[in-house]
Chains A and B, each alone.
Chain A
C-alpha cells in the first residue's frame, strides 16, 4: 500500500470517505514524518500535533455522520505569515516574538470551515522578504532535493520555503503560501511542487501579516495541479474585511483541471529570453511549448516590452509599501520591546533588535523613496511603470489565452551561495515579479530536472480572474512531464 504521506489530497479525500483509513491515522502519519524530518529540514517553526489530532477526530466524527467539507481530514501546513487564533504567529521575525493572535486569518478560517487539519506553522523568509528562506529568524529551510551525488544543502526557494519544502518532503499534503514577487511560484519551481498565485483580490488578505499590500496574494503549494485546484477553491472568497477582495463567485477550479487545452492559444513572450539564460531552461521552455502543441493548443509569440523594468520598479513599490506596513512594529502593542531613554529611542532600539538585515534594508529603501522630494521620482514613477507592464499584458491577452515562461532563471542554489549581493538575490524573481506588478494569476508546474538532478518549473500566466485556464494548461504540462518529482528521503531519522 502507498504510504499515507505519499497520497495526494484527491486520493486521501477518497480514502477518508471510503474509510480505508481514519483522519487520525492520516494526521499521525504526518506528525511522525515531521518529527523525524524537521531537525534536518527546519520546515516547521511550530508544530501543533495536539491541535491536529483534535481537528482530525472532529473530522472523523463528521465523516462518520456522512457530513464533512471539501478538505475534511486533510492535514495542511500553514505559512507563519497567516494569523492563527491562539497559535503563535511571527512572520519568522524576532520582532513578533511570542505574538499569539486573538483572531484567525480569513484564508485559514476558510480552510478550517471545510474540515482541514492544521499540522503547524511553516518557516518563511522574515516578513516574506527573500527568495531563499535564508532571512528567517528561525534559520534557513533545507530543500529536500539534493544535487546528484552531493550532500550540499540547497535552498528551497523563498519566501514560502517552509511550505515548498514541507510539501515536497511529504510533511503535509498541501500548504498555504503567499506571493508578493514570486514567493509561491519560485519555491514551488525549485522543489518540484505546484504553486499558484491567484489574481490580486481573489483571496482575502485579512489576517495575513502585510508586506506590500498592493502586491500580496495568498495561494496554495501542493503536489499536483488537481490538489492546488482543490485548495484554492477553499482559500478564495469574497471578504468584507478586505476592501480589495473582489465580489466574484469562486469557480469550481477542480472541474477545470481535465478540460485540456484544445483550441487555446498560448503566448510565448520574446522578452523573457534574457541574455545569458541557461540552455537547459531554454530547452525546458521549448519542451513545454511542444507539450501544449501536442495537446492541441496553438502557440504564438507575444511581446511584453516592459519586462526588464518590472524588477527595478518592484524594488521601489514593495519596499515603499513595506516601510509603511512595518511602521506598526514599535514595541507598544505586540511583540518585542527594548528599553530606551525616551519613547523614540525605545522605538529605535526595539526595531533595531527586532528586524533582520534584509528587512532593515527594505525599510530604509522604502523610507528613502517615500521621503520628501523623492515620491514623484520613485514611487509615482514605479506605479506608472506598472501601468505600462499591465498594458503589455492586456495587449497580449487580446490574442492569447495564457502565457508560458520559465518560472526561475535556474535550479535551486546552495545555502549562502547568493547572500553577498542583494541585487543578485533579487534577480531570482525576474520571471515572476511582472505577474504581481500586473496583479495577474500565475502558476508554476514542475516540468523537468536540471543537469544537477534538481527540479525546474514552467510558469503559466493568465488573464485576471481566469485561474481556470491555468489549471487546464497546468494539468497538460504535469501529465506530459510525468511523475518524476519525488526527492529521495535522506532527511528522516529512523
Chain B
C-alpha cells in the first residue's frame, strides 16, 4: 500500500522551499555587487526588488511551516522539482525588469534555460544588456549546473536530509562516502577550474587587445556557462563574437572537462592518473565523440563547401563537441547550421541525444547508460552461447570494477526511454506548428538534452505553447524525470482529494 500524501508532506516541502527562496535571495547579492561596481543603478533596483520578493516569500513560508521532521525520499524529490520551478519564476523577475524581454514567459524561458544549463536564448538586444544582468544570466548557469540544492546546501541543510534532496538533482554517483564531502569536493574542483579557466580565457582575450577588466568579465562569464555546459555568452554572437580560434580551443578544453564526471576528476586529482584512460565512461565518451564526428564528416562528403581543412575542422568539430558535451556554444549562425547536410545534422542530433558523463554537468541520456546497454547486450549474447546452467557476469570499470545487475540496466532503460519520448514529443509539437521534422527534432533534442544549439526555431515569435513545452523539456531533462513524475503524482493526488 502506497502511503497517501498528507498535510505533513506539504509542511515539510514548503519549509524547504522557504529555505530555497532565501538562498536564491542571498545569491542575488552577487549581481547587485557587480551592478555597484559598474555603476548600473537601474540594474541594482531590479535586483533589489527581486531579492526582497525572495526573502519575504521565504520568510512567510518558513513562518507558516516551522519544524520539519526527517525528510523522506518522496518529499526530497518533490522539493527538488518544485524548487527548480520556483527558481525559474523568481530568477526571471530581474531579467524581465531589465526590459530586454517581450513577455514574462520569455524571461522564464531564459532563466530555465540557464538553470537547466541548456543555452537556448530569447533575450532581445543582448549586446546592450547591463553587466549586472549579464552576470546574473551566467551565474544562473553556474548555480544550475552545480545544482540549485547544492548551492542551497552551502547555506543550510543538514547531513541526512541533504542526500535525499541531492539525489533528486540527478547526481547519484557517490564519489565520497557522504554527500556533504562530495558536495565540498565538487565545489572545490569547480572553483579551482573557475580560477584557471577564467584566467586562461581572459589571457587569450587580452592577447587580442581587450582591457583587463573587460577580459576578466568575459572570461568569467564564458567559464561559468562553459564549465556547466550551459552555453550562454555575454554577446548575441555567442562564440563567433571573439573571432579567435585559440579562444575556441580553450572553450573546448573547458567543456570537455565539464562533461567529464566528478568521479574521474576525483580519481585524477588524488593521483590515480590511469583512471582517465581506464574509466569506461570516458572510453565510451571518446568512442561516441569520434563516431558521431565521422557521421558528421561523412555528411559533408560530396558537398564539401569548405575551402581549407582548418575551416572544415573548426566549423564541424566545434558544433559536434558542443552538442555532445551539451554546452551549445557555437561559432556559426543558426541559419548556417540549418543549411548543413541532413546526415551531418543527424550526426549532431545523435551526439546531443547521447550527452556527456553521469554526475557531470552535461545533459542527455549520458554515455554511462549507453555503456551499460552495450555491456548488458554482450552479457545476453554470452548467456545464449554458453550452456544454460552457467552464470555469466559482466564487469565495467568505473572507479572500481562493478558487476552489472539487471536492476541497474532496468533503471537506465526506463530513463533512456523517457528521454527518447521527450525528444520525440518536442519534435512532434514542432512539426504540428509547421516547422520541418528534422529541425523540430534537432531543437527538441537540444532543449531536452540541455544542449542549446539551435537551427533557428527558438525565437520570440515561436508559439507560446512551444515555449512552455521546451521549458518543461529542459526541466524534466535536467532532473532526469523521477522528481517531476513524483511531483505530478503529488499534485494529482492533492487535486483529487479536494
- Is chain B a partner of chain A in the same complex? no
Interface residues of B (CB under 8 A from A): none
Interface residues of A (CB under 8 A from B): none
